[in-house]
Chain A
């Protein structure tokens, strides 16, 4: 499966209501060690309620200047969240989440405040 096919898909909850757009896919390098780097396991998806596109990497990032620009881009991405892979029920033209899915903070670990 090719990732750009997954990105931009609509994300629906168990009732079929749109909860946002899939804007990114999060991997964790904790799998079986390969030749040089451990394998990258799909951890979850980043869902954005606002815009369908990520923009310039401001979201999920500690970059916060120039201040006005950062605020504007944050506002465009207000309320994005992470959903774990095991909370995904099915993928077709959209991504269907399980009834029990949990919304997690999309922040990258080193940037926690």
Chain B
């Protein structure tokens, strides 16, 4: 019974933890402009993140080494320094976007300017990172994030034309949409980057060490990922579907979180709106915690410093200092008045660009018997692993040219 409860908790946390500001914004934008024609990308992204998270979790549980320790050891000091630079900057962008996202969500709930909410959000994130136990942090934000299921409910309440939605999923462009192929592919990469963000892997593998996973926990972790992430992916598609049903016909562009919440208000009124705002805050707050921790994880693991929330801060001093500095930088960027939604849209594309740097070393170490013993990748995992290596490389290489050609999707 206790085991079953633990499993349920893990799965629910994975669903709630799957969505962050990148998924909310990108799915909203894509739904309002392309309908569900990019739904297949979410599917590709979800299978990818399942594969990737499952591999990095297994490596961490079996070898005790987290992702960036592996990257350093495999790529050597010089190449991994370049990797660290790129990963750290992309993570910092995502962190900035999440803090901005918390402030925007709280603005929707309170109508107090987001500029005032940003420092509050950053301090709140810091306090949790400083004092709260890892498992409590993960479970609370994950479970509150589950309120985003309201998007799936709203799809039904909005009584859509199911035939239209279905044919869009199969690639039939909606009548109202007139986007160029380059823009379509640019957003395909953005959506892919939103589903497969590198920080999720840094966080997932370091979390396995934080929670002292061993080989015995592998079955449960696999279940969490393989059930939780796809359900999270369904919520992603539900967000896009809501935007497709309500925003696309009226030509409403998504420029803030309020447009993303609009279909919910239309479908379920005030109560639904309160629930979705709670979900926004939980999802962005949870992801802000994960990205803040990831900034500490990546740097500490590269340099070999002591790290981990399970230690008291004084026993992982440079790790905690890194996170404080990362939060200050994020706040400083937001203080310039930059639009958090714009930061989000760039961060998901840069995530896709940086992805091969994290993916390849993990794929290789997951096959190395010196690390993994008998827990090396099976044939099926490697088959999909190689297919994803190609997809990830293509997305990474195509991102910048497409960004230039489309003017960043404008």
Contact surface of A with B, Cβ cutoff 8 Å:
53-54, 56-58, 61-63, 65-69
Contacts and interface: CB of A to CB of B under 8 A. Distances in A.
B306 interface: no
Contacts of B383: 66
Contacts of A66: 363, 367, 377, 382-383, 385-386
A65 B382 contact: yes
B74 A63 contact: no
Contacts of A62: 369
Contacts, number: 35
A57 B364 CA distance: 9
B347 to A, nearest CB: 28
Nearest to A58: B364
Q: Is the interface of A mostly helix, strand, loop or mixed?
A: loop
Interface string B66-86: 000000001110000000000
B259 to A, nearest CB: 43
Given A56-B74, A57-B74, A65 B377 contact: yes
Contacts of A63: 364, 367-370
B376 A65 contact: yes
Given A58-B364, A63-B367, A68-B386, 10 more contacts: A54-B76, A56-B364, A57-B74, A57-B368, A65-B377, A66-B382, A66-B385, A67-B382, A69-B364, A69-B386
B370 A61 contact: yes
A52 to B, nearest CB: 12
Contact of B361 (A56, A67, A68): A56
A55 to B, nearest CB: 9
Interface in B9-28: none
Contacts of B361: 56
B375 to A, nearest CB: 13
Contacts of A57: 74, 364, 368
A23 to B, nearest CB: 11
Q: Which 7 A-B pairs have the closest CB atoms?
A: A66-B382, A63-B368, A66-B386, A65-B367, A56-B74, A56-B364, A63-B367
Contacts of A68: 386
A69 B393 CA distance: 14
A25 to B, nearest CB: 14
Contacts of A58: 364
**Interface-centre pick from A53, A58, A62, A66 (highest chain B CB count, 10 A):** A66
Contacts of B377: 65-66
A65 B366 CA distance: 10
A110 to B, nearest CB: 9
Contacts of B364: 56-58, 63, 69
Contacts of B370: 61, 63
Interface string B375-390: 0110000110110010
Contacts of B76: 53-54
Nearest to B379: A65
Interface in B356-410: 361, 363-364, 367-370, 376-377, 382-383, 385-386, 389
Interface centre among B75, B363, B364, B376 (most CB of A within 10 A): B364
A56 B71 CA distance: 9
B388 to A, nearest CB: 11
A53 B367 CA distance: 21
A98 B383 CA distance: 47
A21 to B, nearest CB: 15
Nearest to A70: B367
Contacts of B386: 66, 68-69
Contacts of A53: 76
B75 to A, nearest CB: 7
Q: Counting chain A CB atoms within 10 Å of each CB, which of B363, B367, B385, B389 scores highest?
A: B367
24 contacts: A53-B76, A54-B76, A56-B75, A56-B361, A56-B364, A57-B74, A57-B364, A57-B368, A58-B364, A61-B368, A61-B370, A63-B364, A63-B368, A65-B376, A65-B377, A65-B382, A66-B363, A66-B367, A66-B377, A66-B382, A66-B383, A66-B385, A69-B364, A69-B386
